[in-house]
Chain A
């Protein structure tokens, strides 16, 4: 599984609220700690990457935020300018400003234009080879398929012309499982699990991109073994609980209620995990424990990176 980080392009996605941005940042951080040159790109420019890495605002021009780790945020207009300059060698730089604005407008309506500018830029970074790994904090599950399928959509719609020619090499990169993969982040809860399974199916049907791994985030710890659970049951007898409260100097019944809740949550989550495993045979699952963090800054991201490191056997 260490070969996950040996790929060149990873799209990290998942249902909203599962910790997609934190996991993307943790994977990027981990790869950079293992000597790879990594570019982390946030596609929805909400500034979440800046928060989990504590870097300050990121821009379209990447910046080294820690040794071996560069961060950037996507900007379709900037991407268009770069594209025109590099790919088409258009000598019209001075006129590109208003053009880009116009183009942005068309991109709102014309299919795939915005998407191709995003995917195109990411593939271009891979093609250039300046980085060993590009980690994409991609849009949530509902939107990522449209983005990854954009090169094909363009191929179907645009019959000739330079854009059509451009999609060829993008599809080569996207379709090569040794280089490119999707990482779906999920939690062991009903909706995230369902969405993960649906997304896995859609990725296979509608895109050329390989599902590299599923990260199951916020897995609760197993508190007790079977025999310890019996001890726990006996602790819940009113007389025992009363004795405990006496000895511990406070309402132990609440503490036991808390453990009960933790055990119950763990159980229901275990069922959802089984469903996920069942539905994803052949896909590697990486488990990240619930970390009970205070905040979601760099410290928490480092903890996630170290949990992932253990899971990947690095």
Chain B
């Protein structure tokens, strides 16, 4: 059920300097993009605001484009999770209540749903779906290595995030799914995860590892790998590994087919990627690397979102001349002001501080403008979100951020 009348216009921009960030350089736009895709994957390096951008995109799509929109987040800040109505951790998909939209002054055409990714539970579901029989299922779920692999180790997050995306998409319950990707060591890990998983299950190594357990005719000691592995790890551990893989192999076919399908989804026409970055040098480098990698894999790059951008009036030429004057000539400038502003010395010091601060920020703003030009050349659409001095903790905040991503109401 959609809630309330459709919004007539986006909420007014509240950040005082927000509306000053130019957005004219987009040729395509995110509203077009989101209207034409079923899956949007937000990626980028840590700390750039991926989760918030993903949530804002989903919110804008629900409000302005309508339909059933789901945002899957990986590890949202507590207050953002609350804003989305995600009170507890788990795979449950929850609808953001209509009242929140009404309270935020925005009716919505569609529905906004949110879910968090619970790695452990997702793995358990997967095992339940693919295990050939209840005995094997229970043996896998009880295996100590299984708990370790699924809970503790990072790559399993990557795989399961993509797997879950695939499953939800297949279910056809949503018109649009926006995904926030897990913080990976390497931004590409999650793209490669399904393929790696398939490789792993088809590998000779796996057959090799599980051979001794299947055939007692072949003793472990007769193989050089085991001789060495045994000395390194101890035979009990090795047997645990063998048992684990033997059990897992019963799910071989299901897993490989599934991984292949997940990989296909990532390159499907209906899927697009949004690269999120700040304009700091390191995230920009990573964003560029990511754009290249998407191209190599024939994945669709829909847009680049640059977040936490300083307002561009910092680079207004006349202003920096004035700021330099304040720094170099504070005493003289102070002398021209009426006495009731403050003592000459104090006014001069304030003017100098003000000027220096401006020039510092101007340097950063110029550097950012340069990075932004470079990024803009790499995607059809680029949207800039201004630096906000507060974190986004509610629906109005997401709508405000979203208004910078949207071209037309």
Q: Is B325 close to A, CB under 8 A?
A: yes
The reply to whether A111 and B154 contact each other, CB–CB distance below 8 Å, is no
The reply to whether B241 and A259 contact each other, CB–CB distance below 8 Å, is no
Return chain B residues, CB-CB under 8 Å to A108: 155, 196, 200
When C-beta atoms are compared, the residue in chain B nearest to A291 turns out to be B360
The reply to whether B357 and A223 contact each other, CB–CB distance below 8 Å, is yes
Residues of chain A at interface, number, CB under 8 A: 79
Return chain A residues, CB-CB under 8 Å to B183: 16, 140, 142
Return chain A residues, CB-CB under 8 Å to B252: none
Residues of A within 8 A of B (CB): 15-18, 21, 44, 46, 48, 84, 88, 90, 92, 95, 99, 102-103, 105-106, 108-112, 139-140, 142-143, 146, 153, 157-164, 189-192, 194, 221, 223-224, 227-228, 230-232, 234-235, 240, 243-252, 254-259, 261-262, 264-265, 267-268, 292, 294-296
6 additional A-B pairs beyond A191-B391, A248-B326, A294-B367, beta carbons within 8 Å, are A140-B185, A240-B341, A250-B322, A258-B354, A295-B281, A296-B281
Bound together, the chains give a CA A257 to CA B75 distance in angstroms of: 35
- B118 CB → nearest A CB, Å: 15
**Interface on chain A toward B: helix, strand, loop, or mixed SS?**
helix
Residues of chain B at interface, number, CB under 8 A: 84
**Chain-A contact segment, one of B97-105, B214-222, B266-274, B312-320:** B312-320
Q: Known A158-B234, A256-B354, A264-B389; judge A294-B319 contact (CB<8 A).
A: no
Q: Quick one: which of B47, B185, B186, B358 contacts A192, CB cutoff 8 A?
A: B47
Q: 17 A–B contact pairs at CB < 8 A?
A: A18-B47, A88-B232, A90-B228, A160-B236, A163-B237, A190-B77, A221-B357, A224-B353, A235-B337, A243-B336, A243-B337, A247-B325, A248-B325, A249-B322, A258-B354, A264-B389, A294-B363
Q: Is B24 close to A, CB under 8 A?
A: no
Bound together, the chains give a CA A194 to CA B230 distance in angstroms of: 43
Bound together, the chains give a CA A228 to CA B145 distance in angstroms of: 63
The reply to whether A191 and B47 contact each other, CB–CB distance below 8 Å, is yes
Most buried by A among B241, B347, B350, B364: B350
Bound together, the chains give a CA A103 to CA B205 distance in angstroms of: 10
The reply to whether B152 and A146 contact each other, CB–CB distance below 8 Å, is yes
Q: Is B321 close to A, CB under 8 A?
A: yes
Bound together, the chains give a CA A15 to CA B45 distance in angstroms of: 10
Bound together, the chains give a CA A227 to CA B342 distance in angstroms of: 9
Interface residues of B in 335-370 (CB under 8 A from A): 336-338, 340-342, 346-347, 349-351, 353-355, 357-358, 360-364, 367
The reply to whether A258 and B224 contact each other, CB–CB distance below 8 Å, is no
- B336 CB → nearest A CB, Å: 4
Return chain B residues, CB-CB under 8 Å to A143: 154, 185
**Interface on chain B toward A: helix, strand, loop, or mixed SS?**
helix
Return chain A residues, CB-CB under 8 Å to B148: 111-112, 153, 157
The reply to whether B353 and A223 contact each other, CB–CB distance below 8 Å, is yes
When C-beta atoms are compared, the residue in chain A nearest to B150 turns out to be A111
Return chain B residues, CB-CB under 8 Å to A111: 145, 148-149, 152-153
The reply to whether A231 and B342 contact each other, CB–CB distance below 8 Å, is yes
Bound together, the chains give a CA A164 to CA B238 distance in angstroms of: 13
Q: Known A88-B231, A228-B350, A230-B342; judge A258-B152 contact (CB<8 A).
A: no
Bound together, the chains give a CA A235 to CA B342 distance in angstroms of: 9
Q: Is B78 close to A, CB under 8 A?
A: yes
Q: Is B65 close to A, CB under 8 A?
A: no
Q: Quick one: which of B77, B333, B354 contacts A247, CB cutoff 8 A?
A: B333
When C-beta atoms are compared, the residue in chain A nearest to B286 turns out to be A46
Bound together, the chains give a CA A221 to CA B363 distance in angstroms of: 16
Q: Is B59 close to A, CB under 8 A?
A: no
- A226 CB → nearest B CB, Å: 12
Return chain A residues, CB-CB under 8 Å to B145: 110-111, 157
Chain B 299-323 near chain A by CB (<8 Å), digits 1 or 0? 0000000000001011010111111
Q: Is B48 close to A, CB under 8 A?
A: yes
Q: Is B46 close to A, CB under 8 A?
A: yes
Bound together, the chains give a CA A93 to CA B46 distance in angstroms of: 40
- Which are the 6 A-B pairs with shortest beta-carbon distances? A16-B46, A161-B234, A17-B47, A250-B322, A111-B148, A231-B342
Q: Known A109-B149, A146-B152, A158-B237; judge A251-B318 contact (CB<8 A).
A: yes
